[in-house]
Protein backbone atom coordinates (compact mmCIF):
# COMPACT_ATOMS: atom_id res chain seq x y z
CA UNK A 1 0.00 0.00 0.00
CA UNK A 2 1.24 3.48 -0.78
CA UNK A 3 1.74 5.63 2.30
CA UNK A 4 0.59 8.76 0.46
CA UNK A 5 -2.93 7.33 0.23
CA UNK A 6 -3.14 7.14 4.03
CA UNK A 7 -2.17 10.76 4.66
CA UNK A 8 -4.78 13.49 4.25
CA UNK A 9 -4.03 15.77 1.30
CA UNK A 10 -4.14 18.83 3.57
CA UNK A 11 -1.62 17.43 6.06
CA UNK A 12 1.29 19.81 6.79
CA UNK A 13 3.81 17.10 5.93
CA UNK A 14 3.28 17.81 2.22
CA UNK A 15 3.91 21.54 2.59
CA UNK A 16 6.93 20.79 4.75
CA UNK A 17 8.36 18.48 2.07
CA UNK A 18 7.76 21.06 -0.63
CA UNK A 19 9.72 23.66 1.34
CA UNK A 20 12.54 21.25 2.18
CA UNK A 21 12.81 20.09 -1.43
CA UNK A 22 13.59 23.68 -2.49
CA UNK A 23 16.49 24.07 -0.07
CA UNK A 24 19.96 22.86 -1.00
CA UNK A 25 20.71 20.64 1.99
CA UNK A 26 23.78 19.08 0.41
CA UNK A 27 25.94 22.04 1.40
CA UNK A 28 25.46 21.13 5.06
CA UNK A 29 26.70 17.57 4.73
CA UNK A 30 30.28 16.74 3.87
CA UNK A 31 30.68 13.56 1.85
CA UNK A 32 32.60 11.05 3.90
CA UNK A 33 34.23 8.13 2.20
CA UNK A 34 33.37 5.42 4.72
CA UNK A 35 34.17 2.02 3.28
CA UNK A 36 33.53 -0.20 6.26
CA UNK A 37 30.75 -0.67 8.74
CA UNK A 38 27.02 -0.40 8.44
CA UNK A 39 25.56 1.69 5.60
CA UNK A 40 24.92 5.27 6.70
CA UNK A 41 21.46 6.71 7.11
CA UNK A 42 20.36 9.26 4.54
CA UNK A 43 21.26 12.59 6.13
CA UNK A 44 18.55 14.51 4.29
CA UNK A 45 15.87 12.17 5.61
CA UNK A 46 17.21 12.42 9.17
CA UNK A 47 17.21 16.20 8.95
CA UNK A 48 13.66 16.28 7.56
CA UNK A 49 12.41 14.08 10.40
CA UNK A 50 14.13 16.20 13.06
CA UNK A 51 12.82 19.47 11.62
CA UNK A 52 9.30 18.09 11.14
CA UNK A 53 9.25 16.89 14.76
CA UNK A 54 10.40 20.34 15.85
CA UNK A 55 7.73 21.99 13.71
CA UNK A 56 4.94 19.72 14.96
CA UNK A 57 5.85 19.35 18.62
CA UNK A 58 8.34 22.03 19.54
CA UNK A 59 11.45 20.50 21.06
CA UNK A 60 10.95 16.73 21.15
CA UNK A 61 13.10 14.19 22.89
CA UNK A 62 15.12 11.92 20.64
CA UNK A 63 13.22 8.94 22.03
CA UNK A 64 9.95 10.61 21.03
CA UNK A 65 11.27 11.20 17.51
CA UNK A 66 12.25 7.52 17.30
CA UNK A 67 8.71 6.58 18.44
CA UNK A 68 7.17 8.92 15.84
CA UNK A 69 9.23 7.21 13.12
CA UNK A 70 7.91 3.81 14.18
CA UNK A 71 4.25 4.77 14.71
CA UNK A 72 3.31 7.92 12.76
CA UNK A 73 2.61 7.45 9.07
CA UNK A 74 3.81 10.98 8.28
CA UNK A 75 7.28 10.24 9.64
CA UNK A 76 7.33 6.99 7.67
CA UNK A 77 6.53 9.09 4.61
CA UNK A 78 9.48 11.38 5.37
CA UNK A 79 11.76 8.36 5.77
CA UNK A 80 10.61 7.07 2.38
CA UNK A 81 11.21 3.38 3.03
CA UNK A 82 14.19 3.82 5.33
CA UNK A 83 14.08 1.81 8.57
CA UNK A 84 13.18 3.94 11.60
CA UNK A 85 16.43 5.27 13.10
CA UNK A 86 17.13 4.85 16.80
CA UNK A 87 17.33 7.77 19.21
CA UNK A 88 21.10 7.17 19.35
CA UNK A 89 21.33 7.59 15.57
CA UNK A 90 19.50 10.91 15.79
CA UNK A 91 21.74 12.04 18.66
CA UNK A 92 24.92 11.13 16.82
CA UNK A 93 23.68 12.86 13.67
CA UNK A 94 22.86 16.05 15.56
CA UNK A 95 26.23 16.08 17.35
CA UNK A 96 28.35 15.28 14.30
CA UNK A 97 26.49 16.99 11.48
CA UNK A 98 24.16 19.70 12.76
CA UNK A 99 25.91 21.40 15.66
CA UNK A 100 27.48 24.09 13.50
CA UNK A 101 24.87 24.37 10.77
CA UNK A 102 21.43 24.25 12.41
CA UNK A 103 21.11 28.02 12.68
CA UNK A 104 21.93 28.44 8.98
CA UNK A 105 19.44 25.72 8.03
CA UNK A 106 16.67 27.55 9.93
CA UNK A 107 17.71 30.78 8.23
CA UNK A 108 17.53 29.13 4.78
CA UNK A 109 14.10 27.66 5.53
CA UNK A 110 12.75 31.02 6.71
CA UNK A 111 14.28 32.83 3.74
CA UNK A 112 12.55 30.43 1.35
CA UNK A 113 9.20 30.73 3.15
CA UNK A 114 9.20 34.53 3.14
CA UNK A 115 10.31 34.95 -0.48
Show pLDDT as tens, one digit a residue, over the chain (115 residues): 588 889 999 999 999 999 999 998 888 876 665 555 565 688 999 999 999 999 998 878 999 999 999 999 999 999 999 999 999 999 999 998 887 888 888 899 999 989 8
| Amino acid 35: pLDDT | 56
Residue 47 inside a domain? The answer is yes
User: Taking the CB of residue 49, how many other CB atoms lie within 10 A of it?
Assistant: 25
Let me know if residue 85 belongs to a domain: yes
Confidence (pTM): 0.85
In a domain, 29, yes or no: no
State the total domains in the chain.
Answer: 1
- Which residues form the domain of 97? 3-24+42-113
In a domain, 32, yes or no: no
Is 80 part of any domain? Answer: yes
- Distance in angstroms (rounded) separating the CA atoms of residues 90 and 3: 23
The answer to whether residue 31 is domain-embedded is no
- Residue 35 located in a structural domain: no
Amino acid sequence: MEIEKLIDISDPVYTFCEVMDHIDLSRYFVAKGYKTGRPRCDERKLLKVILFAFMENGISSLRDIEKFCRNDIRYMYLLDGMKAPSFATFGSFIRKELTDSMEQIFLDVNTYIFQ
